[in-house]
Structures are given as C-alpha cells and as structure tokens.
Amino acid sequence: MYLIVGLGNPGDPYEHTRHNAGFDVLTLLAGKLDISIKRFKYRALIGKTQVNGAKVLLCKPQTYMNLSGESVCALMRWYRIKLDHLLIIYDDVDLPAGTIRVRREGSAGTHNGMRSIIDALGTQFFPRIRVGIGPKPERFELADWVLSPYHTAQERQVAFEAYHMAADAALAFVRHGIDSAMSGFNKRAVE
C-alpha cells in the first residue's frame, strides 16, 4: 500500500494559500483517480483507491501543519506502510514558483510540517515532492507569505500547472517508482 500525503492547514481561511499546495495537489490527484477524500481517520481526511493493482491511500492531515506527523505516523502504523511507499507533497519557498522537485529523501528545511513528520517517524529517508511557491518578497514575513493567496491570475495559473505536474509525478511514483518520477519531472517547469 502507498500513502500519499498532501500537507496543508484545514479551514476556510487557509484554502488555496501557498502553504496549502499539498492539499490542492491532492484534490487534483483525487480528481484524476476519480475518488473523494472525505473519510476521517487518525485526524486526517482520507480516500482509498487502486493504481495498477496497488492500493493507494490519499491523506490530508487535519492537525494543522505543525502537527502533521501525528496523523501521518498513525496512518503508517495502522496500514503497515513502508517508508519507501510514503510520499509527502508540500510547498517550498526555496524553489521558484512553477517548479517541482521529486526527492528520495531530505531534510525538513524551513518547513514545519515536514519537521513534524520527520520527528514523528524518526527519519528523513522517505520520498517527497516539493512544490515551489517562490521566495518571500522583502515586504512579507515568512508566515504571512506562505499563508497568503495567489494575488494575480498569472500566479494562480502557474501554481495550478505546477500542482498538475506534482499530481502526475505522484502517479508516476506509484506506477513506476521514485527514480522514474525524479527523472520525468525534475527537469520540467511551468513556462
């Protein structure tokens, strides 16, 4: 079984903000798989499906970002998911908007949701997809930047296209493995 987790914060004030890129990618992925993410289990909204015969669980933690690890760790234990079958999708201020990076492992960087997951699992050796939201402008504090919505139609379009790439990369991960997802998507960017 695979566990694909999109990180974000629950609630209307956070919908479609930069920090909720993971939630938005999972919504697109659920649409591609024709499933809903509505069942509540272990403080997360989940949806189950199969891809090429493999069971896949989509997850949107409802713990708020800083406690994402609690939900992810509980689901991994319950479903006995191996670390190499876990995929976390999240926003990254260190990547330009419109880019994604698929990685086999890595640190949390400045991302508190990833820090929570790494702390809960006791390891950073699991796959992830980082979705670039661009660096914060000088006039913003980091928290204000990541919690802000996209301001222009062009920003929304670039984000939407990157989210689609991330959803496709997640499918490539399940269908063909991490190496295929990395080679197929790490050189692409929204133009």
Q: Shortest CA distance to 71 belongs to which of 5, 25, 18, 170?
A: 5
Q: How many CB atoms lie within 10 A of CB 74?
A: 16
Beta strands 44-51 and 54-61, pairing class: antiparallel
pLDDT number for residue 190: 54
What is the number of other CB atoms lying within 10 angstroms of the CB of residue 68?
31
Instruction: Strands of 86-188 (E only): list them.
Output: 86-92, 100-103, 128-132
Domains in the chain and their CATH numbers?
2-185 (3.40.50.1470)
pLDDT at residue 110 in the model: 87
In order of 106, 140, 187, the CA distances from 68 in angstroms are 17, 25, 29
Residue type for position 156? R
- 10-residue block means of pLDDT along the chain (191 residues)? 97 95 98 97 97 96 96 97 98 94 94 96 97 92 91 94 97 96 80 49
- Prediction pTM value: 0.96
Catalytic residue among 19, 85, 151, 176: 19
- What pLDDT sits at residue 189? 55
Active site residue 19: yes
